[in-house]
Each structure stands twice: as structure tokens, then as C-alpha cells.
Chains A and B, each alone.
Chain A
């Protein structure tokens, strides 16, 4: 691991506090990841990315800034990266997946805010996340009330642009989203000083489509009876997708997929035959939140799919590449992004259809509906999800949890009991 202290100091980070995070992460990663057997060789790349997650990529972003480029920090799968990359800027995910940052967020937010928001705000205010320090602008969205207010807090010391995501899916809402993307384009152009032309946008649409296609290819291998990659590893790749250079990520993920497809041909599985196939659905699992995957996969289950923002919601469906004018391209982007089914929409029956479809495609034996504590939207929608699964004859277990490990034993009991139930 290279020494990045100087870089962190230059970023104005609280290096001493950040050291505490650096001290625990390798252990956590080792326990969950390196202990797995028969991992694909292609995981070496992602191991390296995680080992230096606050070093390698931040250094690249700083290099980009030195050349006059801008960095946009984003939080949500609805924000179109295509616009950012078309202006020769970089979009990156921000921190928000560890309990380490939660107390910092609780200093200013109500306790009954979801851990994702608390961790994000804490990471920013406590100056313990390089991505938050580097980003020239944060791009927020209106996917929940907690986030809407959090942007106002974050906007006090960094420019924030908030995209107003419609909450229904009528034709006029898709139009409204197209207008929001148009506005976002203007903001990005002004902020970077670079014009977004149809040629540039066509290029970045291809770039991001290729990234989604690589993830889709990865997930496709998990549909096989012999599962060539663990759910924990697939989750890690989904999480890294938010941070990594898209071109390199696509290349490395496709390389891994070559190996996985060979494994499928050879009938290699990382799980014993008959391991119960579990699909997760619900709130996002931001890096380094590996808790539930680890519990499932050390309790006799295999996670085969995530119907989550860190999962299928991120990569399913491509943006049409047929647009020749910026207007047509933005329309295509609006249609692609409005096809994502988030619980912030009403109604959101498309998500229930997605879950049933995915459960069949991935041959899931059971579904775990995961809710991050205090996420009212997904929690409430769980009512429909669980009812629809019952009607479809798919066993479902509802779980509510946060980033702490204090409920690990209780979760293990529920998950083990669920798997015992499926094994009968």
C-alpha cells in the first residue's frame, strides 16, 4: 500500500481520524473476502482497488484536476454520468457505507435518518473521505426527504446541484426529467467551460453503455446452476462501478467475465451443489457494507442477484445510441433513467414485476427484502413486495438493519432459519 498521507493532508482531511478507518478496513476485507475459497483470479484487480480505495482513484482524480478537469460527486443511479463525461469531467461516487461515518452525521441530522445519509454527511463534515474533499461539485437528487435536506447542509461549503426527480411515471414526468437533464447539461457546461456536443455525448453514452453491458455480462454468469462467482464478490464489483474509471472498469470486468464464462463451461462453482440461491432486494449496499452478503454466504446460502441500486437497477437497460442531436440523446437518457424502479415513485409496481422476473431469471429459491433502518419508502413498499412474492410462491424474508454489527447474531439466526426452511 502506497503512502497517501501527504495527499490526504493536502486535501485538508482529518488524517488522524481517517487512519482509524484505514486500520480496520483491511481486517474487515480480509474476513469477508480473502477467506473465500476458489475466488476467480480476475478478482485481484478489485482487491487492489479496495486495498487503496482512498488512494489510487483519488490520486487519479487529483491528476485530472491538475490538468484543468472537473470532478462531480454523485449519490444516486438516477444522475446521468453521461452528461458529466461528455464535458471531459469525471463523475465519482461518494462515501456512505460504513458505521465509521455515522456518528459524524448524527451530530447534525436526526437520529432516525437512514445510515446512508448519516454516513455521507458525517464523511463530509468530519473530513474523512477523500472523494468528498476532491469533488468540485456534488450532484444531488430528490429521491427522499432525508436526502433533500442533507443537500442543503452539504451545500454550505461545496457547490451542490440538485436534480428534481419526478415521483410519478407519466409521460409528462419523463418530459420533466428530460428538462432536468437539459438543465444539468447547462450547469456542467458552465462549470467545466466545455461544450457538450452531440459527438461528445454520443461517445459518453457508448462509454457508460459499455460499462453497463459488462456488469450485465457479469450478472448473466450468476444465472447458471454452477455459480462461478460469489455474491459478495459480485457486490464488490457493483460497488466499485460507482468510483472507477469507466473505461478501465469495463475492460477489467470483461476480462473477469472471460474467466467466469470459462468456469461456466467447465462446470466450476464456488458453492457446493444444492446451495440455496438467494436474491436480495431493497435499499442500496454502499461500499464497504458487505454484512448481509457475508452472513448469507457463511450460513449455507449463495447470493445470486441484487435488485438494488448496487445491482440490477444500476445496469439494466441501455440508453439508445440512435440519437443524432443533443435533444434526441437527452430524450433517450431521460427514457432510460426513468425506467429505473425506485421506491420514491408512486405507484412503483414496476419494481415488483422486476423482482418476480429476476427471481425467475436467476432461479432464486428465496428472496431477502433488505431495508436500511429508517428508509420509510422501501420499508413501506415491503408490504407489496412480500405480498406479491407470497402470491408468486417465492419464499421471502424481510430484514431491517443498519451499518452496526450489533445485530449480526440475530440476523444470522433469521437467515439460517430461512435457509433451513428452503432446504426442506
Chain B
């Protein structure tokens, strides 16, 4: 048997396979979740996993989860992230997931989701904010983080991405160093994520998942703002897909 978890995020789509095969891959979601879903299906077939076979169980999650027409189950990203997070760090933990359009805080107690929180319909404190600012500075996300580490934080105080962007434009106009602006951008995201996280009583152990999860620089900034350690995770971007694959196995038993 193969158990497939497909996490269609707003920016990236993540796939995890467990069972006979063990596969992980990620691809950009692009403009159509439906098309991305087809590409995933073909890619899996090439790897020897037929999603339509009786020997394969599929759980779809993420904002594009309904587009996965061959899914056996559809489960929200909160439940899937919690399951994936447990696999990575145990049954009692807090998960902070900075995604492309949503930032989530999930509290897991004895293996169960106890509480969760998502950001409002606003891109501040999400990957989208970083993407917009990196574009504005003419660099990639990776370059933005590299530059930020060499810079000194310039304050960006606006709570709104659009206004924050004009703050960045002002800094550019003033001829400030790109490194300092980049540091300000990362610091601003960390501050907003921390603000959201602090609305809940975080447990002792907290991990970061999502596209930034491997960044020690970001987890350090975040830990500083929250006042407790947030651990980076190597495969954190796959937390939702991995959780979905595990749930596919658990649900079919």
C-alpha cells in the first residue's frame, strides 16, 4: 500500500508518500490548483504510484484541497499539520506554520488538536508579505534572508502589507542599505507571527513549519520576539503533506 498526502498551498504544493514508497516533492501551485493536481498525479505515476489504484489512499489538504478530485479524504490543513508536527516532534507541542497566505498556530496536547488560530484575511505576517518585499527589493527569498543576516533592522511598523511596502519604498528612496531593509522586513514578519502566537498559551516545545521552517535565522528572530525557543524543522514545509499521508493510512485502517 501507498499513502499519499497532497498539500495544495497558495504558493507551493507539497506531496508526501509513505508505505511501499517514500517520496517527497514540492512544486509551485501556479495559477490553477486543478492543473497542479494533474501534474502531481502524473509525477506520482512516473514514480510508480498510481493514485487511482486500490493500493493507494490519498488525503488532500491545503487551500486547494477541493481541487484534488482523486482524493479519498479531504482534511483541513490544521488537522494535517498537527499530525505531521506530532510525527516530527512528539505529542505535546505548539506548531507555528508560516504559509503563503495563512499563518497558523496549532496547540497539540496528548496527540490531539486542543486549539488553533489563523491570521485574519490579511497578508501581514505571512509568506506573501516576504514575497512582495523581496520583489520590491529585486531579490529572491533566499537572497532576502542572506542579506537580512548581514543587516541591522530598520523598523517597519505598518500592520498592513500595502502600507509596509510604502515604508520600504521610502527607505529605498532615502538610500538605506538593502541589507538593513531586508533585516527590517524579516523582523516585521517575525513580530507579526509572534503577536499572533502570543494570543495562545504556547507549550514548552514549539516548532516552526512551512516554507521558512528550515531557516535558523528566522526561528531565532521569532524565538526572540516570543521569548521562548522556536525550533526549526528540516522537513517542516512537508508537515501538512506528511500529516495527510499518515492520516490516509490511519483512516483506511
| A residues at B contact (CB < 8 Å) | 395, 400, 406-407, 409-410, 413-414, 416-418, 420-421, 424
Interface centre among B78, B102, B121, by most A CB within 10 Å? B121
CB contact between B63 and one of A409, A421, A424 (< 8 Å): that residue? A409
A420 to B78: give the CA distance in the assembly, Å: 9
Structural contact, B76 and A424, CB atoms closer than 8 A: no
> Chain B: interface secondary structure?
mixed
A420 and B102 contact, Cβ closer than 8 Å, known pairs A406-B121, A410-B118, A413-B118: no
Q: Name the CB-closest residue of B to A422.
A: B113
A416 to B112: give the CA distance in the assembly, Å: 15
Structural contact, A417 and B121, CB atoms closer than 8 A: no
Q: Name the CB-closest residue of A to B79.
A: A420
A377 to B79: give the CA distance in the assembly, Å: 32
Structural contact, A420 and B76, CB atoms closer than 8 A: yes
Structural contact, A413 and B116, CB atoms closer than 8 A: no
Chain A residues with CB under 8 Å of B78's CB are 413-414, 417, 420-421
Structural contact, B102 and A416, CB atoms closer than 8 A: no
Q: Name the CB-closest residue of B to A409.
A: B63
Chain B residues with CB under 8 Å of A417's CB are 76-79, 113, 116
Chain A residues with CB under 8 Å of B114's CB are 421
Structural contact, A413 and B113, CB atoms closer than 8 A: no
Structural contact, A424 and B77, CB atoms closer than 8 A: no
Task: Quote the shortest CB–CB distance from A292 to chain B (angstroms).
Answer: 15
Would you mind naming 20 contact pairs between A and B with Cβ atoms under 8 Å apart? A395-B115, A406-B121, A407-B121, A410-B102, A410-B118, A413-B63, A413-B76, A413-B118, A414-B78, A414-B118, A417-B78, A417-B79, A417-B113, A420-B76, A420-B78, A420-B79, A420-B113, A421-B112, A421-B116, A424-B113
At the interface, yes or no: B75 with Cβ under 8 Å from chain A? Answer: yes
A38 to B115: give the CA distance in the assembly, Å: 34
CB contact between A410 and one of B75, B79, B121 (< 8 Å): that residue? B121
Chain A residues with CB under 8 Å of B118's CB are 410, 413-414
Instruction: Type the 1/0 row for B59-90, where 1 means its CB is closer than 8 Å to any CB of A.
Output: 00001000000000001111100000000000
Structural contact, A421 and B113, CB atoms closer than 8 A: yes
Chain B residues with CB under 8 Å of A421's CB are 78-79, 112-114, 116
> Chain A: interface secondary structure?
helix
Q: Name the CB-closest residue of A to B81.
A: A417
Chain B residues with CB under 8 Å of A424's CB are 112-113
A280 to B102: give the CA distance in the assembly, Å: 24
| B residues at A contact (CB < 8 Å) | 63, 75-79, 102, 112-116, 118, 120-121
Task: Quote the shortest CB–CB distance from A365 to chain B (angstroms).
Answer: 14
Chain A residues with CB under 8 Å of B116's CB are 417-418, 421
Task: Quote the shortest CB–CB distance from B126 to chain A (angstroms).
Answer: 12
A413 to B63: give the CA distance in the assembly, Å: 8
Task: Quote the shortest CB–CB distance from B118 to chain A (angstroms).
Answer: 6
A46 to B113: give the CA distance in the assembly, Å: 40
A413 to B78: give the CA distance in the assembly, Å: 8
Chain A residues with CB under 8 Å of B121's CB are 406-407, 410
A65 to B135: give the CA distance in the assembly, Å: 64
Task: Quote the shortest CB–CB distance from B115 to chain A (angstroms).
Answer: 8
Interface centre among A406, A410, A420, A421, by most B CB within 10 Å? A421
A413 and B77 contact, Cβ closer than 8 Å, known pairs A406-B121, A421-B116, A424-B112: yes
Q: Name the CB-closest residue of A to B75.
A: A420
Chain B residues with CB under 8 Å of A410's CB are 102, 118, 121
Task: Quote the shortest CB–CB distance from A144 to chain B (angstroms).
Answer: 21
Task: Quote the shortest CB–CB distance from B48 to chain A (angstroms).
Answer: 31
Chain B residues with CB under 8 Å of A418's CB are 116
A409 to B75: give the CA distance in the assembly, Å: 14
With A420-B76, A424-B112 known, 12 other A-B pairs at CB within 8 A are A410-B102, A410-B118, A413-B76, A413-B102, A416-B76, A417-B79, A417-B116, A420-B75, A420-B113, A421-B78, A421-B113, A424-B113
Chain A residues with CB under 8 Å of B112's CB are 421, 424
Task: Quote the shortest CB–CB distance from A386 to chain B (angstroms).
Answer: 9
A416 to B121: give the CA distance in the assembly, Å: 17
Q: Name the CB-closest residue of B to A390.
A: B115
A407 to B115: give the CA distance in the assembly, Å: 21
A420 to B73: give the CA distance in the assembly, Å: 13
A424 to B109: give the CA distance in the assembly, Å: 12
Closest 8 CB pairs of A and B: A417-B78, A417-B76, A421-B113, A420-B79, A416-B76, A407-B121, A424-B112, A413-B76
Structural contact, A400 and B120, CB atoms closer than 8 A: yes
A183 to B115: give the CA distance in the assembly, Å: 49
A418 to B82: give the CA distance in the assembly, Å: 13
A275 to B245: give the CA distance in the assembly, Å: 25
A323 to B76: give the CA distance in the assembly, Å: 56
Q: Name the CB-closest residue of B to A420.
A: B79
Task: Quote the shortest CB–CB distance from A115 to chain B (angstroms).
Answer: 14
Q: Name the CB-closest residue of B to A373.
A: B120
Chain A residues with CB under 8 Å of B120's CB are 400
Q: Name the CB-closest residue of A to B104.
A: A417
Chain A residues with CB under 8 Å of B113's CB are 417, 420-421, 424
Task: Quote the shortest CB–CB distance from A418 to chain B (angstroms).
Answer: 8
Chain B residues with CB under 8 Å of A395's CB are 115
Task: Quote the shortest CB–CB distance from A51 to chain B (angstroms).
Answer: 31
Chain A residues with CB under 8 Å of B63's CB are 409, 413
A417 to B116: give the CA distance in the assembly, Å: 9
Task: Quote the shortest CB–CB distance from A99 to chain B (angstroms).
Answer: 15
Q: Name the CB-closest residue of A to B64.
A: A409
A409 to B102: give the CA distance in the assembly, Å: 12
Chain B residues with CB under 8 Å of A414's CB are 78, 118
Q: Name the CB-closest residue of A to B111.
A: A424
Q: Name the CB-closest residue of A to B76.
A: A417
Chain A residues with CB under 8 Å of B76's CB are 413, 416-417, 420
Task: Quote the shortest CB–CB distance from A111 to chain B (angstroms).
Answer: 13
Task: Quote the shortest CB–CB distance from B78 to chain A (angstroms).
Answer: 3
Chain B residues with CB under 8 Å of A416's CB are 76
Chain A residues with CB under 8 Å of B115's CB are 395
Q: Name the CB-closest residue of B to A406.
A: B121
Chain B residues with CB under 8 Å of A420's CB are 75-76, 78-79, 113
Task: Quote the shortest CB–CB distance from A117 to chain B (angstroms).
Answer: 20
